[in-house]
Structure 1
Amino acid sequence: MPRFLLLSLLFVSSLARAAIPALPAAALDDDKAMDRAMPVLAEAALAAQREGEDRGAYLNDRFRLQMVAGRHPEALDSLRAWRAYQAAKGLPSASGFVQYEIVLAAQRDAAAGKAIDAAFEQAFGSVYGGLDDLTAGEARFSFGAYLPGFEAELRRQLDTSRGQRELTQAQAVALVRAYQVHRAYALLLPRVPSALAADDARRYVQEEVRVAVPDGSQVVALVVRPRKAAAALPTLMNFSIYADRDGKLDDLRYSAARGYAGVAAFSRGKLGSPDPIVPYEAEGSAAVAVIDWISRQAWSDGRVGMYGGSYEGYTQWAAAKIGHPALRAIMPSVPVMPGNDVPMEGGIFQSFVYRWIPHVTRNDTMDHEVNNDHARWQALDREAYRSGRAYRDLPKIDGQANPLFDRWMQHPTYDAYWQAMTPQGREFARIDIPVLTTTGYYDGCLLSAVHYFQQHTRYNPRADHTLVVGPYDHLSGQFRSGPELLGYALDPSAAMDMRALRYAWYDHQFKGAQRPALLKDRVNYQVMGADTWRHAPTLEAMGPERRIFHFGAARDDGRYGLVTVRDRAASAIPLRVDLADRSDADREFSSLILSPTLDAANAIVLATEPMAAATEFSGLFSAHLDFSTNKRDFDLSLSLYEQLADGRYLQLSYVMARASQLQDPSRRKLLTPGKRYRWDVPARRLAGRQLAPGSRLVAVLGVVKSPGAQVNLGSGKPVAEETVADAGEPLEILWHPGSRLEIPVRP
């Protein structure tokens, strides 16, 4: 080997291993000293940088190091090389790091003597203004940031290096990156609002209008449409009580960039509407009034599609209940159904809704401060539970009036008050527009999404209603999934962007595009653990076989068996719960769906033997409960889990329901103490999971008794009026041997 080549290799090798001098101590606490020292550190890190197997990561670090070192043209070249690498890999790239390209171009021109504000304006206009509308909409999120958070990360990195004379390459890069992000956003954030406003004015027509409702009230609507539209456009509309003007405008601009008119309308009393704010009641008529207004605008082609999640999913069904010729499709994500999942589920009032009321009614936008006062709400739940006072006394315990809560307390069953808000029975038959529902196995409103689907397809067998469900919760079921959910790592195939699906589906409905490939049948569901999507014409077809597990005898571990062959000699399983005991007010509850422990308080636990082979559990399970009790009522809780071979528990599905309303949710029918009942209890929450070999199916069967929900004491009085003095003797339930579970299985 030539001597000069050997010396070069030795030099490179020693440089790669060499430590990098740390920042001077003065630079750790003085910003001016830091600004002088950071370019030196960036140069040293650049000199030591070597390209590894991940070229994308190398270029990502490199442009940041060059940026801090003041090598602006080289940094721009590295950033563009990173984009080209991303594009070659088939990854999103066009809008990647647009914010840094703008800052780099501004810094380059400022270094050449241009005033920084003028340099920024020119750079923004050239870089961001040069993007097409759709790419600009995707890039817009990169301007949203919380500068104190970036500063905290920079301080953390500085503290990590404090007292060190040398840094490793990884430490140096992490420190420079933290500095680069903070300084870039410190330049960006004060200047972006006016720059974006000017860019928006060039691309879009934005309006805020008041729309009259026939009852004399008014609603406010925001409109965004492409300025250069050559013809009338279809409209995508969102109707919400969540009056977040900036967030909604972002969404509307994205619709406009896709060639739609975007409209966001709000409940009465929001964004300057002079009317009282009353959630749920009469939202359908307000939404239809906005649809009618849209249909009469010159820029509208007469077609309106609605979208949105949670409350916004409810408003779509409320509008569809009334109907309008211009309403051509709806896409309700994780839709609420008042009286079914809020403010009560299965007839059991849930206290989280108590805090929601002031969140959305206290002002004409949203009261985030009151909603985020977690200490207050946790203390209220504990105090109300510990005191044993009547549930309707929550406002008195809280010390704040809550008239809407008081009104809800007058409607403890699914009565006419709640039924008036959404389609009922044959009203579903009149809904003949396409519907796309998205939800998740871990969405609190899953039962309502299932109910809407079941009722729509029952009363209108030809309904064009498509369901998408997977391992998502209330947020990811309407927005975007991440790599994991509450302790569970999602399969790669479960990755989902609901907004992308929204536009693909509406492009199909309104623009003649191909139907999204995912939507192969009426029911489209991701099977957890199998890393695959399946498609079925009905919910029943998800798991066409029913595997029966009978309640079995006690086991040595304190559990009871779930057995495939009924044991005729088995005896009843007792459950005893002291409803007056509130010593568990501080009990902790896990938010994980994959957990190392099982919460079996106030319940019995039943389990199968380990599964010999992989078993796909997809669809709606049901239970046949053969029981007797000493009370006139109780609140049932039945949860299913997969216990993995390593002992962890994965939540699969659950039922929560008031016994007196199980047979008819619209009225209460009290139990007769000592009488034996044999009831079928259908679950309303889908599951989609491939149970692994060696896993067990575990059922936790008990009663609802915890802070955060009504406690039904079984006296027969209205539950909202019961106090702990009505508890009497402990609740006793006998689960007789005829009890069983029926699990839908795909062979």
Structure 2
Amino acid sequence: MKSFIVFVLGMLLLHTGGAQPYLIEDSVLIRTPYGATLSAVVVRKKDAPAKQPAALMFFIYANRDRSLEEAKYAADRGYVGIVADTRGKRLSPDLIEPYEHEAQDVNAVISWIVRQSWSDGRVGMYGGSYSGFAQWAALKHPHPALKTIVPYVAAIPGLGLPMENNVFITANYQWPFYVTNNKLTDTAVNNDRERFRKMRLNWFYSGRPYNKIDSIDGVANPWLQKWLSHPGYDSYWQSMVPYGKEYARIKIPVLSITGYYDDGQISAIEYLKQHYLYNPAADHYLVIGPYDHFGAQQGGTRMLRGYQVDSVAIINTRTLTFQWLDHILKSGPRPAILRDKINFEVMGANRWKHAPSLEKMEDSVYRLYLSESGELSFTRPLKEKYHLQEIDFADRDHWTNSSYPDPIIKAELDTSNGLFFWSKPFDKPVTVSGSVTGLLKAVINKKDMDIGIGLYEVLPDGRFFQLSYYLGRASYAADMTKRKLLVPGKAEEIPVSRSRLFSKQLQQGSRLLVVLNINKNPFAQVNYGTGKDVSHETLRDAGEPLKIKWSSQSYFMLGMSRE
């Protein structure tokens, strides 16, 4: 009987938290100096030192149990674990306004942390996607207590989503409902894929303007409408994260993690580029491999969209995160994978490479020209010739620019969809790394166009391994903040940047393939080329087909090393 009573008491202690090694506060309210209130979870180990550094995640996907798991994980590794909810989420009484207040709110949380008796005055941040964005938002006005950040697949609002290179995409249309419909998350609406698939198709086939897509859905989407009113990367977007010379003020160490097939990769890489542009001495490391948006946040999966990932590419993102925090906050060793600033897995070679910069990922950078014959040539053509392309926007049966890498390895491509440029077969293995950049020269009969580019390795057996892709609006290509319309009939130069970064060892006998196209499908705005705000254009604006003369002097640039 006595032993039974002891057992019952033990179970009661376990379920009431008495047997747990943690001090848990799951209903913390943090009042900011400007009147907002945020909620947070704080976890410490009972036997921890009186003062510790804090590991902070700033989170919009409010979930008490998940926040406790994260905070306990940090506490087990010698930190005060803190997960703070975005303004308006969980216990916060305020309005939910995604992206608009993190530059203030994250620093308010950091100020609260350093005032607590258990704080040693130092904070490190980590986390993925929106949480990655929140870390960069905090660095718009760097807080002296924030000593490092570890952003995974970090978003840049207005650059990677809800638009990509100034083209609004439909892939995350439902996201505002998901995060603003209630104090937690509206999982049901987020998972209703059939609803939003029908919406995209109905909008596309109707020819109605993009700003009416929510009326086709039948539910107003005020956040989408607000974002559509900012088609350029203007002061609205610039206010959310560091912009321009503000990157020069970022002196703390940074570890960025992203993936070759992360939908938002261009944002994560843009942070890195801008940080080094304005602060050449930046202490900023990158880890990148064959991961998608969610895989990068855990360290990869063995099978990714039909591609069997190299074994060495599989890492543990959380383990790496806390190795880094220990390195910066506890004088621990630098994580072994970080042998240089840019650390990348070479697909097909099953090895990691390390470079001091993005520009030096490979030995040489080559130009590949769109030669008259359809060859992707390493030699500039002596005479300028033109490749003709015509897109009939009224034809809704034929989608163009179907270059999303799912599956990554395709058995065949529709050669009627876009212009195809093939290199000669490589006589030995070649490693190709970096992002596709270049200069397109074209004459068109309209004022604008949305360009799509797909880059493939054509394997010796004829299959197509997708390496990278690009989507961008020609009128914003030179300056994403200001639209400059093309002049019909005039030769124009359109720079290409912010495509997906990758690294792959090409097999002997493989070829490179570039597919050049114009975007016309249900997955993004359709730009009819009138020069009006694209969100207001309709199929009635399409007029005659878009006619393009692509110059053979156009080229792409790729980093290559011969094995």
Band the TM-score falls in, shorter-chain normalisation = over 0.9
Kindly indicate whether residue 377 of structure 2 is the aligned counterpart of residue 563 of structure 1. Answer: yes
Q: Out of 464, 469, 477, which is 2:288 matched to? A: 469
Q: Out of 191, 197, 202, which is 2:20 matched to? A: 202
Alignment-mate amino acid for residue 225 of structure 1: R
SS of structure 2 residue aligned to 1:620: strand
Kindly indicate whether residue 459 of structure 2 is the aligned counterpart of residue 640 of structure 1. Answer: no
Name the counterpart of 1:609: 424
Alignment-mate amino acid for residue 262 of structure 2: D
C-alpha distance in 2, partners of 1:306/1:293? 15
Aligned runs of 1:628-707 on 2, under 5 Å? 628-707=443-522
Number of aligned positions between the proteins: 558
SS of structure 2 residue aligned to 1:254: helix
SS of structure 2 residue aligned to 1:524: strand
SS of structure 2 residue aligned to 1:502: helix
SS of structure 2 residue aligned to 1:287: helix
Note the C-alpha offset of 1:746.
2.5
TM (norm. structure 1) is: 0.72
8 Å Cα contact 1:602/1:705 also seen in 2? no
C-alpha distance in 2, partners of 1:734/1:304? 55
Note the C-alpha offset of 1:228.
1.5
Alignment-mate amino acid for residue 668 of structure 1: R
Alignment-mate amino acid for residue 320 of structure 1: L
C-alpha distance in 1, partners of 2:354/2:54? 30
Q: Out of 510, 526, 548, which is 1:711 matched to? A: 526
Name the counterpart of 2:555: 740
Kindly indicate whether residue 265 of structure 2 is the aligned counterpart of residue 446 of structure 1. Answer: yes
After superposition, give the CA deviation of every residue in 1:93-129 in whole Å (9 maximum; x if it has no partner).
xxxxxxxxxxxxxxxxxxxxx99x998997xx7xxxx
After superposition, give the CA deviation of every residue in 1:424-446 in whole Å (9 maximum; x if it has no partner).
11111111111000011111121
Change (3 A) 1:436 1:587: closer
C-alpha distance in 1, partners of 2:79/2:372? 62
C-alpha distance in 2, partners of 1:639/1:533? 25
Name the counterpart of 1:519: 338
Change (3 A) 1:455 1:196: farther
C-alpha distance in 1, partners of 2:487/2:65? 56
Kindly indicate whether residue 204 of structure 2 is the aligned counterpart of residue 385 of structure 1. Answer: yes
Note the C-alpha offset of 1:565.
2.8
Q: Out of 59, 63, 84, which is 1:244 matched to? A: 63
Alignment-mate amino acid for residue 531 of structure 1: N
Change (3 A) 1:346 1:121: farther
C-alpha distance in 1, partners of 2:34/2:416? 50
SS of structure 1 residue aligned to 2:375: strand
Name the counterpart of 1:233: 52
Q: Out of 423, 433, 444, which is 1:618 matched to? A: 433
Kindly indicate whether residue 543 of structure 2 is the aligned counterpart of residue 724 of structure 1. Answer: no
Kindly indicate whether residue 160 of structure 2 is the aligned counterpart of residue 344 of structure 1. Answer: no
Change (3 A) 1:211 1:401: same
Alignment-mate amino acid for residue 141 of structure 2: I
After superposition, give the CA deviation of every residue in 1:586-624 in whole Å (9 maximum; x if it has no partner).
999772112212255641111111111111101233222
Q: Out of 229, 246, 249, which is 1:410 matched to? A: 229
Q: Which consecutive segments of 4 or more residues in structure 1 shift more than 6 A?
A: 117-122, 585-590
SS of structure 2 residue aligned to 1:735: strand
Root mean square deviation of aligned Cα: 2.1
8 Å Cα contact 1:340/1:414 also seen in 2? yes
C-alpha distance in 1, partners of 2:314/2:77? 22
Alignment-mate amino acid for residue 246 of structure 1: D
C-alpha distance in 1, partners of 2:383/2:482? 37
Kindly indicate whether residue 413 of structure 2 is the aligned counterpart of residue 598 of structure 1. Answer: yes
Note the C-alpha offset of 1:200.
7.3
Change (3 A) 1:618 1:197: farther
8 Å Cα contact 2:467/2:502 also seen in 1? yes
Name the counterpart of 1:322: 141
Change (3 A) 1:401 1:680: closer
SS of structure 1 residue aligned to 2:174: helix
SS of structure 1 residue aligned to 2:48: coil
Aligned runs of 1:14-53 on 2, under 5 Å? none
After superposition, give the CA deviation of every residue in 1:453-475 in whole Å (9 maximum; x if it has no partner).
11111211221111111111111
Note the C-alpha offset of 1:352.
2.3
Name structure 2 gaps, 5 residues minimum. none
Name the counterpart of 1:542: 361
Note the C-alpha offset of 1:585.
7.0
After superposition, give the CA deviation of every residue in 1:264-284 in whole Å (9 maximum; x if it has no partner).
011111112111100000112
C-alpha distance in 2, partners of 1:698/1:637? 14
C-alpha distance in 2, partners of 1:570/1:716? 28
8 Å Cα contact 2:147/2:252 also seen in 1? yes
Note the C-alpha offset of 1:258.
0.8
C-alpha distance in 2, partners of 1:677/1:586? 22
Change (3 A) 1:119 1:694: farther
After superposition, give the CA deviation of every residue in 1:555-593 in whole Å (9 maximum; x if it has no partner).
xxxxx2112234435731111111122124799977211
Change (3 A) 1:720 1:195: farther
Kindly indicate whether residue 366 of structure 2 is the aligned counterpart of residue 579 of structure 1. Answer: no
C-alpha distance in 2, partners of 1:663/1:235? 42
Kindly indicate whether residue 169 of structure 2 is the aligned counterpart of residue 355 of structure 1. Answer: no
Name the counterpart of 2:442: 627
Note the C-alpha offset of 1:236.
0.3
8 Å Cα contact 1:469/1:526 also seen in 2? yes
Note the C-alpha offset of 1:196.
6.3
Alignment-mate amino acid for residue 715 of structure 1: T
Q: Identify, as 1 or 2, the structure richer in helix.
A: 1
Alignment-mate amino acid for residue 638 of structure 1: I
Kindly indicate whether residue 293 of structure 2 is the aligned counterpart of residue 480 of structure 1. Answer: no
After superposition, give the CA deviation of every residue in 1:190-215 in whole Å (9 maximum; x if it has no partner).
xxxx8864457521011121111222
Name the counterpart of 1:77: none
SS of structure 2 residue aligned to 1:278: coil
Percent sequence identity is 43
After superposition, give the CA deviation of every residue in 1:652-675 in whole Å (9 maximum; x if it has no partner).
112211000001110111111110
Note the C-alpha offset of 1:335.
0.3
The 10-residue stretch of structure 1 (508-517 or 310-319) with the greater mean CA deviation from structure 2:
508-517
The 10-residue stretch of structure 1 (450-459 or 677-686) with the greater mean CA deviation from structure 2:
677-686
SS of structure 2 residue aligned to 1:281: coil
C-alpha distance in 1, partners of 2:559/2:18? 52
Aligned runs of 1:366-385 on 2, under 5 Å? 366-385=185-204
TM (norm. structure 2) is: 0.95
8 Å Cα contact 1:542/1:746 also seen in 2? no
Alignment-mate amino acid for residue 483 of structure 1: R
8 Å Cα contact 2:364/2:559 also seen in 1? yes
The 10-residue stretch of structure 1 (464-473 or 563-572) with the greater mean CA deviation from structure 2:
563-572
8 Å Cα contact 2:270/2:498 also seen in 1? no
Change (3 A) 1:569 1:669: closer
Note the C-alpha offset of 1:231.
2.5
After superposition, give the CA deviation of every residue in 1:664-710 in whole Å (9 maximum; x if it has no partner).
11011111111011333234421211111111100110111111210
